[in-house]
Amino acid sequence: MNILKQLVLTKHRFSGLTRHCRALRSSYLHSSTDASVEVHSPEQEVVIALGSNVGDRLDNFNNTLELMNKSGINITRHACLYETAPAYVTDQPNFLNSAVRAITKLGPHELLGVLKQIEKDMGRSDGIRYGPRPIDLDILFYGKFKVHSDILTIPHERIWERPFVMAPLMDLLGSSADCDTVTCWHSFSPLSGGLLEFWEKMGGESLIGKEGMKRVLPIESGLWDWSQRTSIMGILNVTPDSFSDGGKFVSVEAAVTQARLMISEGADMIDIGAQSTRPMASRISAEEELDRLMPVLEAVAGMPEAEGKLISVDTFYSGVASEAVSKGAHLVNDVSAGQLDSNMLRVVASLRVPYIAMHMRGEPHTMQNSENLQYDDVCKQIASEIYSRVKDAELSGIPAWRVIIDPGIGFSKKTEHDLDILGGLPNIRAEIGRKSFGVSHAPMLIGPSRKKFLGHICSRIVADERDPATIACVTAGVLGGANIVRVHNVRDNADSVKVCDAMLKQRSTKNLS
């Protein structure tokens, strides 16, 4: 019989967590001591850790997630993705590590059996303990319960000595507990302040990028550590009606020339858009968008200069995204974060490419109406709404480790809102972190380039006269934590980014000394 020992807290006092956590914890104080119970609840929330260092590690992860969802393990939240040096047995390749939260009706030992079968199906065989493996799956938490049997111990007994397990585990939490079960998980910590205090004592964020552990985003055929420097995304509009450069690059020849110029000036990515999303823009069909986009995309992707660079497609149509990726695009940049095409999230999940989820209310034709411009606290509300969109993406099968967030400067915003965003990027991250540390750590893109609010502030009616103002925005954004800047003028903004990155590196060096 699978017997679980229900958590009791009569022997421990906890401090240092949020008031919310302390309030929730009180509901366990009257549990009967050492009560042995079987799980009768139809569903339990679980945390499962993943690791891989044999074969195509990312493909192993993707296939494992599919098998888990098909086996009665319904994944609801993903941690970030980490590349880590091997532990215990060090003479082996680096690992990819992550973790997921999921809901399951499986009992704990049933769950263990399913995970062991998935490991076997993925090619794992008996070998050296802690040695190489295509996939390794460990149950970290199972509901509010502790499990002790000959084959299973929950919480997993080695959580407390493994930063490569603690980091993804923390990503699945927020600074505020979102349910009683999470509060219970905090209580498993050896320290009174819960998992948050334990992670900080272990080293916390200071461990990322050191001791063989870096946070990465899979893109094209590699892993991108976006913390090393800020990336430049060059804007290539192949539209007749974009607010800044509409009509300039509609021909394939002109578009290729512009892409080549931006790459020579320092662009890391080229974002190709074939539909204007300026305020009041009329929507064209997916078919018309494809007719504009595909000749340019194929030509740019075939440029020798594009080797090693990334191509993004700026679209809110799932059909356009799918066709673009099949012809060489590496990312999907969706201004609606899945709100304008009900198939977008499902399609991007199947494409397995990074997804830029931008904040916008309404759609381009309505985003600047009075209803969509109402904010009490713009940074707080943007954070909440972005998190909601990312949560939808995760439930559709897009792991958080493939998401890039964009606060949507200029989209359903007034001038004062855009300024609040530029000065409040850390606040947006912190607010997202109340619900999900993992999403708060996602790469952040900002796109202030030549936007109308800069024209209002600087009295520049002509869009391409707003480049100096754009540089000021980029400077503020990078120093505030932006990881990607989307700009028209690559050369001048690239210089701004280099200075900002140097400043940030200097600041980091001084903090370490």
State the catalytic residues. 451, 486
> What are the start-end ranges of the E strands in 279-365?
310-314, 331-334, 355-358
Residues facing residue 101 across a β-bridge: 47, 77
Residue type, 260: R
Nearest to 408 by CA among 372, 376, 435, 437: 372
Residue 139's DSSP bridge partners are 48
**Is the Cα dihedral 384, 196, 44, 135 positive or negative?**
positive
Helices assigned H by DSSP within 191-343: 194-202, 252-264, 286-301, 318-326
Nearest to 498 by CA among 480, 469, 478, 481: 478
What letter would DSSP give residue 489?
-
Query: 512 φ, ψ to 5°?
Result: -80, -25
Q: What are phi and psi of 405, to 5 degrees?
A: -105, 145
H/E stretch holding 380 reads helix 378-395
3-state class of 7 per DSSP? coil
Region for residue 317 given its phi and psi (left: phi exceeds 0; alpha: psi -120 to 50; beta: otherwise)? beta
Query: What would the two tokens of residue 121 be?
Result: 């199906």
Distance CA 401, CA 466 (A): 34
Tell me whether the omega of the peptide bond preceding residue 279 falls within 30 degrees of 0, making it cis: no
| Distances, alpha carbon 433 to alpha carbons 175, 406, 421, 443, in Å | 6, 15, 16, 13
Dist. CA 250–CA 240, nearest whole Å: 7
Closest alpha carbon to 216 in 407, 404, 486? 404
